[in-house]
Amino acid sequence: MATEKTFYIETFGCQMNAHDSEKVIGTLQQQGYRQVESEEEANLILYNTCSIRDKAEQKVFHRLNDYKALYKQGKRFGVLGCVAQQEGEKIFERAPFVSLVSGSASYRKLPEMLVRLESGETRITGLDDRQTEETFETDFTARLNPYRSYITIIEGCDKFCAYCVVPYTRGKERSRGSASVLEEARRIADMGYTEIQLLGQNVNSYRDPEGNRSFAELLAAVGQVPGIRRVRFTTSHPRDFTRDIVEAIDAVPTLCDHIHLPVQSGSAKVLKQMAREYTPEWYLERISWIKAARRQISLSTDIIVGFPGETPDDFIQTMNLLAEVEYDCVFAFKYSPRPNTPALTMIDSIPEIEKSARLQALLDRQREIQRVNYAKHLGKTLEVMVEGVNPARGQIAGRSSQNKPVNFTSSHGIAPAPGSYQNVRITATHPNSLVGEAV
């Protein structure tokens, strides 16, 4: 009797990686594999990796080392994703028991790579050099999130920000046809999902290869798919953020009133060194479009502190921008050098203790901004999508259309199912969440 084909997959990193894993899982299942819950149970062990954070590759090699003894039991190992593309065949040298190394731009070749693996090959690579025009589309995506479904509309990145490894690990920008995206959205709605999130490294850099729709037009079209109640998108780049995106959010009620628009710095000098290709004035003009919308649109952003050459005055400019925009959420990080990026040639002269101090000062200021912003919801009723239950607190967890966490109680005594909707009256507020009672 043939040995059953089983696999275990662990995912590191962002929503793009999580959704890539859903597509990888679906592909494996279509090829006759069964997913299991631990490395010990699996014949094939896969790590889908991310290289955005500092020391990401070390974490992957540590994980491989923790389980290398399983290789002697006949188990096979594969490294997928950004670290795979970044490190390439060096992974075979550092971890000789690994049999498969594949970057995300090569996932479309996964079925043939699996056949080679099953035939006994021990060094299989899927590595692209930014030349591919193809995207990873599959009818076999495993939808693992019980309340939200993802659609990748654009892969890769052409921006080459000085600090970022993504253009080197995910290939050049390549968009899916709008007809394919809408077909997938309709399938998702037919499965019972009511929330869709459109994904891309720079999602609003979308260019329809069929020439039919702009990003804003595609966004509106997805929002008009019968059965869909919420549409989100991430991540946007300020260079490609256009006024018609705001107009679409105003015009189509199913488009969530939340925009994530990474600024990275409030200093024109630092933005130039980062190769972000916009100025604070350019960025703030787009913020003015958002704030002028008929709907109140929540704003979030990414900020890097301590980039090489950032002076105390540059940091003050970032703090001033923070105060002017009044974000509802900020993801802030200390600069850390990443492999193959232009910033590696810059002198990183800011002491770690100073980076930490700047980061803490920014987070403290942002906390006060959020405390004021969230307090404005007190006494209001919001529609909340249920995401789960916190038994310890006796609360139901969910999210508003503005992407704000809401924890609430229900007098019915029965927790609503994930993906259902509930009107909640806000009775208390915190800097990072809202608290309420089901109406």
In the chain, the amino acid numbered 345 is T
Residue 429 phi, psi dihedral angles, 5° rounding: -135, 150
Instruction: Give one word for 436, left, alpha or beta, with left for phi > 0 and alpha for psi -120 to 50.
Output: beta
Is residue 438 a contact partner of residue 423, using CB atoms and an 8 Å limit? yes
Separation of alpha carbons 70 and 99, rounded Å: 13
The verdict on 163 and 277 lying in the same domain is: yes
Domain assignment present for 132? no
3 state SS of 400: strand
CATH number of the domain residue 85 falls in: 3.40.50.12160
Q: pLDDT (tens digit, 0 to 9) for every residue of the chain, 439 residues total?
A: 357 899 999 998 888 889 999 999 999 999 999 999 999 999 999 999 988 776 777 888 899 999 989 998 999 999 999 999 999 999 999 999 999 999 988 888 999 999 999 999 999 999 877 777 788 887 778 898 889 999 999 999 999 999 999 998 888 999 999 999 999 999 999 999 999 999 999 999 999 999 999 999 999 999 999 999 999 999 999 999 999 999 999 999 999 999 999 999 999 999 999 999 999 999 999 999 999 999 999 999 999 999 999 999 999 999 999 999 999 999 999 999 988 899 999 998 899 999 999 999 999 999 999 999 999 999 999 999 999 998 778 899 999 999 999 999 987 777 788 999 999 999 999 999 999 999 9
Domain assignment present for 196? yes
Kindly state the greatest CA–CA separation across the chain: 71
Among 307, 308, 287, 306, smallest CA distance to 298 is for 287
Residue 387 phi, psi dihedral angles, 5° rounding: -115, -20
Domain assignment present for 133? no
- Residue 2, pLDDT score: 52
The verdict on 54 and 26 lying in the same domain is: yes
The verdict on 85 and 171 lying in the same domain is: no
The verdict on 122 and 159 lying in the same domain is: no
Tell me the pLDDT of the chain averaged across its residues.
94
The token pair at 420 is 């259902």
Write the pLDDT tens digit of every residue in 364-405.
999 999 999 999 999 999 999 999 998 778 899 999 999 999
3 state SS of 238: helix
The token pair at 381 is 């009723």
Domain assignment present for 136? no
The residue out of 349, 375, 401 marking a domain boundary is: 375
CA-to-CA separations, 131 to 92, 100, 134, 170, 240, in angstroms, rounded? 24, 21, 9, 11, 22
Count of helix runs (H) and strand runs (E) in the chain:
13, 19
The verdict on 240 and 295 lying in the same domain is: yes
The residue out of 94, 126, 158 marking a domain boundary is: 126
The verdict on 98 and 208 lying in the same domain is: no
Between the CA atoms of 313, 319, 324 and 330, what dihedral angle is there, to the nearest 10 degrees?
150
Number of domains forming the structure of the chain: 3
The verdict on 241 and 106 lying in the same domain is: no
Between the CA atoms of 39, 44, 49 and 54, what dihedral angle is there, to the nearest 10 degrees?
50
- Residue 1, pLDDT score: 36
The DSSP 8-state label assigned to residue 314 in this structure reads: H
CA-to-CA separations, 436 to 73, 298, 407, in angstroms, rounded? 52, 19, 6
The verdict on 223 and 370 lying in the same domain is: yes
- Residue 394, pLDDT score: 84
Among 268, 311, 259, smallest CA distance to 288 is for 259
> Beta partners for 369?
none
Q: Can you give the pTM of this predicted structure?
A: 0.92
Per the structure, the complete domain to which residue 121 belongs is given by 6-126
Rg, Å, the chain Cα set: 23
CATH number of the domain residue 400 falls in: 2.40.50.140
Separation of alpha carbons 439 and 429, rounded Å: 17
Domain assignment present for 138? no
CB count within 10 Å of CB 199 equals: 22
Domain assignment present for 141? no
